[in-house]
Structure 1
Amino acid sequence: MTYKLRLDPTVHEIYRTLPDPARADFALLLLDALADPLAHSTPYGHDDGVFRTIARGTVTAAILIGDDTLTVIQITHLG
Protein backbone atom coordinates (compact mmCIF):
# COMPACT_ATOMS: atom_id res chain seq x y z
CA MET A 1 0.00 0.00 0.00
CA THR A 2 1.20 3.51 -0.73
CA TYR A 3 0.44 6.06 1.95
CA LYS A 4 -0.89 9.56 1.33
CA LEU A 5 1.50 12.34 2.32
CA ARG A 6 0.36 15.15 4.59
CA LEU A 7 2.43 18.28 5.19
CA ASP A 8 1.35 21.23 7.28
CA PRO A 9 2.00 24.54 5.44
CA THR A 10 4.61 25.43 8.07
CA VAL A 11 6.46 22.15 7.52
CA HIS A 12 6.22 22.63 3.75
CA GLU A 13 7.82 26.07 4.15
CA ILE A 14 10.74 24.45 6.02
CA TYR A 15 11.10 21.98 3.14
CA ARG A 16 11.02 24.83 0.59
CA THR A 17 13.91 26.62 2.32
CA LEU A 18 16.23 23.59 2.42
CA PRO A 19 19.30 23.65 0.17
CA ASP A 20 18.91 21.54 -3.00
CA PRO A 21 20.96 18.55 -1.75
CA ALA A 22 18.89 18.40 1.45
CA ARG A 23 15.65 18.66 -0.56
CA ALA A 24 16.82 15.73 -2.70
CA ASP A 25 17.63 13.66 0.42
CA PHE A 26 14.23 14.47 1.89
CA ALA A 27 12.46 13.51 -1.35
CA LEU A 28 14.21 10.13 -1.32
CA LEU A 29 13.26 9.64 2.32
CA LEU A 30 9.62 10.29 1.50
CA LEU A 31 9.57 7.97 -1.52
CA ASP A 32 10.82 5.09 0.62
CA ALA A 33 8.66 5.91 3.63
CA LEU A 34 5.45 6.29 1.62
CA ALA A 35 5.87 2.77 0.26
CA ASP A 36 6.65 1.14 3.63
CA PRO A 37 7.00 3.56 6.55
CA LEU A 38 7.86 1.00 9.22
CA ALA A 39 10.64 -0.55 7.15
CA HIS A 40 12.19 2.83 6.30
CA SER A 41 12.04 4.51 9.69
CA THR A 42 13.18 4.08 13.26
CA PRO A 43 11.24 4.51 16.50
CA TYR A 44 11.04 7.99 17.96
CA GLY A 45 11.47 7.18 21.65
CA HIS A 46 9.15 4.31 22.61
CA ASP A 47 8.32 2.11 19.60
CA ASP A 48 4.58 2.54 19.23
CA GLY A 49 4.66 1.94 15.46
CA VAL A 50 3.11 5.36 14.90
CA PHE A 51 5.59 8.12 15.77
CA ARG A 52 8.82 7.47 13.87
CA THR A 53 11.99 9.11 12.52
CA ILE A 54 13.39 9.09 8.98
CA ALA A 55 16.88 10.33 8.13
CA ARG A 56 19.28 10.63 5.21
CA GLY A 57 22.37 12.77 4.75
CA THR A 58 21.82 16.02 6.63
CA VAL A 59 18.02 15.73 6.90
CA THR A 60 15.95 14.16 9.66
CA ALA A 61 12.19 14.19 9.96
CA ALA A 62 9.65 13.09 12.54
CA ILE A 63 6.65 11.35 10.99
CA LEU A 64 3.28 10.14 12.20
CA ILE A 65 1.97 6.97 10.53
CA GLY A 66 -1.81 6.77 10.20
CA ASP A 67 -4.00 4.05 8.68
CA ASP A 68 -3.32 5.29 5.16
CA THR A 69 -1.45 8.56 5.73
CA LEU A 70 2.06 9.63 6.58
CA THR A 71 2.23 13.05 8.22
CA VAL A 72 5.52 14.94 8.44
CA ILE A 73 5.59 16.59 11.86
CA GLN A 74 9.04 18.17 11.80
CA ILE A 75 12.03 18.52 9.47
CA THR A 76 15.53 19.15 10.79
CA HIS A 77 18.48 20.08 8.58
CA LEU A 78 21.92 19.58 10.09
CA GLY A 79 23.81 21.58 7.52
Structure 2
Amino acid sequence: MYVLKCDAIRQAIWDSLPQPVSERLTLALAEACADPLDATVPYGEDDGIMRTLILPDTLVVIYLGHQTKTLHIYGIEYAG
Protein backbone atom coordinates (compact mmCIF):
# COMPACT_ATOMS: atom_id res chain seq x y z
CA MET A 1 0.00 0.00 0.00
CA TYR A 2 1.29 3.44 -1.00
CA VAL A 3 0.56 6.65 0.90
CA LEU A 4 -0.87 9.55 -1.11
CA LYS A 5 1.04 12.85 -1.02
CA CYS A 6 -0.52 16.02 -2.39
CA ASP A 7 0.78 19.57 -2.02
CA ALA A 8 -1.47 22.56 -1.34
CA ILE A 9 -1.65 23.64 -4.99
CA ARG A 10 -2.79 20.22 -6.24
CA GLN A 11 -5.14 19.91 -3.28
CA ALA A 12 -6.76 23.22 -4.25
CA ILE A 13 -7.22 21.97 -7.81
CA TRP A 14 -8.73 18.72 -6.52
CA ASP A 15 -11.03 20.66 -4.17
CA SER A 16 -12.21 22.87 -7.05
CA LEU A 17 -13.42 19.92 -9.14
CA PRO A 18 -17.17 19.29 -9.38
CA GLN A 19 -18.29 16.96 -6.61
CA PRO A 20 -18.90 13.84 -8.79
CA VAL A 21 -15.53 14.30 -10.50
CA SER A 22 -13.77 14.73 -7.16
CA GLU A 23 -15.41 11.55 -5.83
CA ARG A 24 -14.31 9.54 -8.90
CA LEU A 25 -10.79 10.89 -8.48
CA THR A 26 -10.76 9.98 -4.79
CA LEU A 27 -11.79 6.40 -5.54
CA ALA A 28 -9.32 6.06 -8.42
CA LEU A 29 -6.46 7.38 -6.27
CA ALA A 30 -7.38 4.92 -3.53
CA GLU A 31 -7.08 2.12 -6.09
CA ALA A 32 -3.77 3.55 -7.28
CA CYS A 33 -2.45 3.58 -3.71
CA ALA A 34 -3.34 -0.11 -3.41
CA ASP A 35 -1.75 -1.11 -6.74
CA PRO A 36 -0.19 1.87 -8.54
CA LEU A 37 1.27 0.02 -11.51
CA ASP A 38 -2.01 -1.74 -12.28
CA ALA A 39 -4.23 1.33 -11.77
CA THR A 40 -2.14 3.65 -13.96
CA VAL A 41 -0.39 3.76 -17.31
CA PRO A 42 3.14 4.93 -18.10
CA TYR A 43 3.74 8.65 -18.52
CA GLY A 44 5.95 8.75 -21.59
CA GLU A 45 8.64 6.07 -21.39
CA ASP A 46 7.73 3.31 -18.95
CA ASP A 47 10.21 3.88 -16.13
CA GLY A 48 7.82 2.61 -13.44
CA ILE A 49 8.05 5.96 -11.66
CA MET A 50 6.11 8.58 -13.64
CA ARG A 51 2.59 7.33 -14.24
CA THR A 52 -0.74 8.63 -15.50
CA LEU A 53 -4.15 8.00 -13.98
CA ILE A 54 -6.74 8.43 -16.72
CA LEU A 55 -10.41 9.05 -15.93
CA PRO A 56 -13.13 10.07 -18.42
CA ASP A 57 -12.74 13.78 -17.67
CA THR A 58 -9.57 13.96 -15.57
CA LEU A 59 -5.91 13.19 -16.12
CA VAL A 60 -3.55 12.90 -13.15
CA VAL A 61 0.22 12.61 -13.43
CA ILE A 62 1.76 10.88 -10.44
CA TYR A 63 5.25 10.12 -9.23
CA LEU A 64 5.78 6.79 -7.47
CA GLY A 65 8.28 6.71 -4.64
CA HIS A 66 8.88 2.98 -4.52
CA GLN A 67 11.44 3.15 -1.71
CA THR A 68 9.16 5.26 0.52
CA LYS A 69 5.89 3.69 -0.73
CA THR A 70 4.47 7.11 -1.60
CA LEU A 71 2.34 8.27 -4.50
CA HIS A 72 2.81 11.99 -5.23
CA ILE A 73 0.29 13.91 -7.31
CA TYR A 74 2.38 15.82 -9.84
CA GLY A 75 -0.46 17.36 -11.85
CA ILE A 76 -4.23 17.32 -12.29
CA GLU A 77 -5.97 18.29 -15.53
CA TYR A 78 -9.74 18.49 -15.76
CA ALA A 79 -11.48 18.70 -19.13
CA GLY A 80 -14.96 19.60 -18.11
Tell me the TM-score normalised to structure 1 length: 0.94
Structure 1 unaligned regions, length at least 5: none
CA distance in 2 between partners of 1:37 and 1:44 (Å) = 13
Aligned residues: 78
Question: Helix, strand or coil for the counterpart of 2:36?
Answer: coil
Look up the match of 1:9: 8
More helix by share: 2
8 A Cα contact 1:3 1:70, kept in partner:
yes
- How many percent identity over aligned positions? 36
CA distance in 2 between partners of 1:65 and 1:39 (Å) = 13
1:1-79 equivalent positions in 2, closer than 5 A = 2-67=1-66, 68-79=69-80
Structure 2 unaligned regions, length at least 5: none
CA distance in 1 between partners of 2:33 and 2:59 (Å) = 15
Tell me the TM-score normalised to structure 2 length: 0.93
